[in-house]
Structure 1
């Protein structure tokens, strides 16, 4: 059953703020609809995006009629401004999280909301209604000289505000205040562990002004290292800022998205928790960051990644898992939260992701390709890391022909996926290159034999003569958009007849205008509803494939059209629905790194 859609803002009507520990989604209606703390994968305290009644929210909005709302980011930053245009005037809500640094022993996690009257005078209503642990556990409320406390068993929140709020029986606080032109009212929410009662955070305008300026300066300083100054600078830089917000600063890990269970289809069951580090997504992110000149982030993530090779190997899954927590732990636990309705009734709501128990052999290719680029263009890999890589490659050369779940993580369905073989070829080929370039030890003769065997299998069994295309699985006539990556990973020339024929088949059967489906969902039965939207990452792959094939005008048109499917802030979720609405977890790192790669390659080719 679908809930009343008016209770749920569209997924696209949100902006994201964050401190590289966690993130919050702020709607154009003035509500914080999603916030987990203190980490991305912590339980939520505001989750009205998944259940307006039981999820919790923090809303600031005018009491008078609102004629229009606007959202924008403070220039070159991740400070979000929501502007209400009303019959009585104009007011802004400025939302940000001061950036935390691992080397700062006195750091505190704050969520700051500053209300500024731009014109006129109006009355505002504020409601702060936290629900601890995804709304599963109760909390108490008390007030002291520091502010209003929301006290849970594992987490405490302290709200300091310049306006008077009353306690609510629901465990929240609410109130109204009048604000006139030039006036400012403040709300500062501090996240604390139980018993951690340090000196209060800033609450005076001058103190918050300092936090605002420091936060803006941090993001602008970081973005100044970006080396891209081409045609689509604004879109690329917003994507870079988004990727940076999705980075967990203490370890350098990059999560896939800050949300869980936003549906791939309204009312459907493909609702997954993306608050994890997918090796595949993170490897592509490393490539994007290197292209943009962000070497510090590339080095931090490479350090995190190399530590995963040192973990004990599993004979079934191999040296690497598909995904990890931000700390690098492998946690296969998946749980359904049956007390939450789900976005517009799209149940179940899931926390944790059982896909971590899958075998997905393509991740080795993506990781080895990223490390090859890091070794080539940055400081290079250590000898210990090289030893771990050779041991991993030896395992892959033995197990590469096993059935696996593939790049799209289909549940309950394993097969001999062509893309997994393609990325196995990439892994072996990149290791051979590194060994030869640097004179590093390795069984190059055996690696070469394995590489050539994989190559022959793809050509002989991955090619479908009837479709005139490379297909999703060996010997099966199912098209798959992942084949668009073939020239990008140097398996084929972008003008090779087999690739051009594959490109044409994908255009004919999987593409609608500029939008590309991952595969024919009706042809693959994984026990779940087949309907889904087009996959935005695949659409950016399509633009890049057209670029490499020399169809530059077509590539530019596809890319420019894809920009129109971003939300008002330049953010993308995972998929685009039939009516152009954004679906799936939001914002998604995979989509934004696809945008960066497509834009940079087309810009470079156009000259």
Structure 2
């Protein structure tokens, strides 16, 4: 009997760089949006098993299953074992440029014995709100609704019924079958030979993509213990990176809950500005300079379109559309009945001071990697720095995007300091026109204010807001950003306070201690664990850093994927999946640990280690 909901760690992801499919260990495609990540879902059983739609291929008998990726690729293999036989399903999508349309290939191969299988092709367009019309074709099944057309080509006999198109079949040892699903009417060869060739091209594409950066890749990542998880993070991050625009999706999903049964359910199919400097650090040190430059170009275009630095958004659509209006889909149950299901994200309308520091830091980092700023680029950079100087004393929603009243968030003030500091550095080293005296004075004023009002002597730690008492894991980035040295007593106190009061178990941290007013207790925040490791490295506590990192790796999925959070009680993954920020954190964490071991990065030293 199929489980109604799978654990997130039971899912793998395949994609074409513009969209993806989440495929469970039971052989079910439970999440797929077409044609883009942020498009409405056509398979959405992840959020509602009853009406969301799925594309299932699974044994009819009781089975055990496991899955993995073909080495150095995003080709997923799921193996099913029954008493009678064994079946392997290989799932993949050719990347953009290899195919004119989004295509999901599913190859079934019986490796021994015989195995009885059940297939169900049941798309549910528009987040499950529409029912498609089915028709038999010469080569399979066509499902359509309005402008949407899905073509399933297969030699297996699918019959149209009330639930969709279904098939029961048996494969004997050595026999194979293909199911090829295309978005739009198919106009390409789907013979077995052509399908095999498509899989080989896809395998070579992923292998070549990794090999192209081999000579530029920092040797700091070469470690037998965690090298493979860095590579998997790298491959997952690439799946979330759009080759046409350069934007990187924060995650592939929407509304996967940070607290089961609670309301902490958000749409992460957008690109967040705050990921920028950490993302570029990861890409440059991995040797993926083209992806880094594509992302920089995308950011440049976004900044250039804004009327002023004040109107910069926290997040942007992956394809250039304005706005991310948030609304709920009340008819969907939600993952494990966590409601509401949201599309769009209201954080796009928030005022968050930290983005000025993130953008300026990103621009500064690119100059360290050899980029020369044009006059226009310096002008908008100067505008961002000036804006940080103007508004740093205002309240904001902060990095955690609190939905309550704005506050004087300490981390936001630190990031305004970063904007001024990086602006001063760029102007001094390049001779750019800038109000340097005013910038230096404001930088010093922010620094003094954070030290006087952001550090709580009783708690011996930086805290979440000015004159506050609650802890915030974002303050672990203070040494990483160069605000204070890693061995400063106030940094050491913040590390120890976080280890004592934010700990959610070995290798896990909660992100803050404050009651944020939302229902449900959220899990440990994955990226905070990686921030802790970097803080420990910069504090010279190397053994602790390595042990903490190794404990954190215990919570990665069997496929090497990370969600946003972890349930400390069950070790189950929570939040949207896979999460770019978590994988970026892991990559940069491995970089710091490699440098700690004396391995050359081959690139400028990362933040905090300059």
Q: Deviations over 1:495-521 (max 9, x none)?
A: 00111011111111101322110001x
Q: Which residue of 1 aligns with 2:585?
A: 594
Q: Which residue of 2 aligns with 1:216?
A: 203
Q: Deviations over 1:331-358 (max 9, x none)?
A: 1311111111011111111111111110
Q: Say whether the 8 Å CA contact 1:188–1:202 is kept in structure 2.
A: no
Q: Say whether the 8 Å CA contact 2:508–2:524 is kept in structure 1.
A: yes
Q: Which residue of 1 aligns with 2:572?
A: 581
Which residue of 104, 108, 122 corresponds with 2:101?
Answer: 108
Q: Secondary structure at the match of 1:6?
A: coil
Q: Which residue of 2 aligns with 1:477?
A: 469
Alpha-carbon offset, residue 176 of structure 1: 1.4
Q: For 2:449 and 2:278, how far apart are their aligned partners in 1? A: 25
Equivalences for 1:437-452 in 2 at 5 Å? 437-452=429-444
Equivalences for 1:223-372 in 2 at 5 Å? 223-224=210-211, 225-226=213-214, 227-228=217-218, 229-231=221-223, 232-313=226-307, 318-372=310-364
Alpha-carbon offset, residue 5 of structure 1: 10
Q: Say whether the 8 Å CA contact 1:146–1:160 is kept in structure 2.
A: yes
RMSD: 1.6
Alpha-carbon offset, residue 378 of structure 1: 3.5
Q: Which residue of 2 aligns with 1:42?
A: 39
Which residue of 557, 561, 582 corresponds with 1:567?
Answer: 557
Q: Deviations over 1:392-416 (max 9, x none)?
A: 2222211121110000011123100
Q: Which residue of 1 aligns with 2:161?
A: 168
Q: Which residue of 2 aligns with 1:205?
A: 192
Q: For 1:338 and 1:510, how far apart are their aligned partners in 2? A: 34
Q: Secondary structure at the match of 1:516?
A: coil
Alpha-carbon offset, residue 575 of structure 1: 0.6
Alpha-carbon offset, residue 525 of structure 1: 3.6
Say if 2:458 is the partner of 1:461: no
Q: Say whether the 8 Å CA contact 1:184–1:205 is kept in structure 2.
A: no
Q: For 1:501 and 1:602, how far apart are their aligned partners in 2? A: 21
Q: For 2:418 and 2:491, how far apart are their aligned partners in 1? A: 17
Alpha-carbon offset, residue 27 of structure 1: 0.5
Q: For 1:31 and 1:138, how far apart are their aligned partners in 2? A: 19
Say if 2:74 is the partner of 1:74: no
Q: Say whether the 8 Å CA contact 1:256–1:282 is kept in structure 2.
A: no
Q: Say whether the 8 Å CA contact 1:263–1:271 is kept in structure 2.
A: yes
Q: Secondary structure at the match of 2:230?
A: helix
Which residue of 21, 26, 31 corresponds with 1:24?
Answer: 21
State which drifts further: 118-127 or 583-592: 118-127
For these two proteins, the number of residue pairs brought into alignment is 589
Q: For 2:545 and 2:365, how far apart are their aligned partners in 1? A: 25
4+ aligned runs moved over 4 Å, structure 1: none
State which drifts further: 259-268 or 505-514: 505-514
Q: Say whether the 8 Å CA contact 1:461–1:474 is kept in structure 2.
A: yes
Q: Under a length normalisation based on structure 2, what TM-score does the superposition of the two structures give?
A: 0.94
Q: Under a length normalisation based on structure 1, what TM-score does the superposition of the two structures give?
A: 0.95
In structure 2, the CA distance between the partners of 1:530 and 1:58, relative to structure 1 (3 Å rule), is closer
Q: Which residue of 1 aligns with 2:180?
A: 188
Q: For 2:140 and 2:324, how far apart are their aligned partners in 1? A: 39
Q: Which residue of 2 aligns with 1:373?
A: 365
Q: For 2:35 and 2:247, how far apart are their aligned partners in 1? A: 16
Q: For 1:380 and 1:408, how far apart are their aligned partners in 2? A: 33
Q: For 2:437 and 2:202, how far apart are their aligned partners in 1? A: 53
Alpha-carbon offset, residue 198 of structure 1: 5.6
Q: Say whether the 8 Å CA contact 1:187–1:203 is kept in structure 2.
A: no
Say if 2:113 is the partner of 1:123: no
Q: Say whether the 8 Å CA contact 1:38–1:191 is kept in structure 2.
A: yes
Alpha-carbon offset, residue 56 of structure 1: 0.4
Flag structure 2 segments of 5+ consecutive residues without an equivalent: 599-610
Q: For 2:354 and 2:299, how far apart are their aligned partners in 1? A: 16
Q: Say whether the 8 Å CA contact 1:464–1:476 is kept in structure 2.
A: yes
Q: For 1:72 and 1:447, how far apart are their aligned partners in 2? A: 52
In structure 2, the CA distance between the partners of 1:86 and 1:380, relative to structure 1 (3 Å rule), is farther
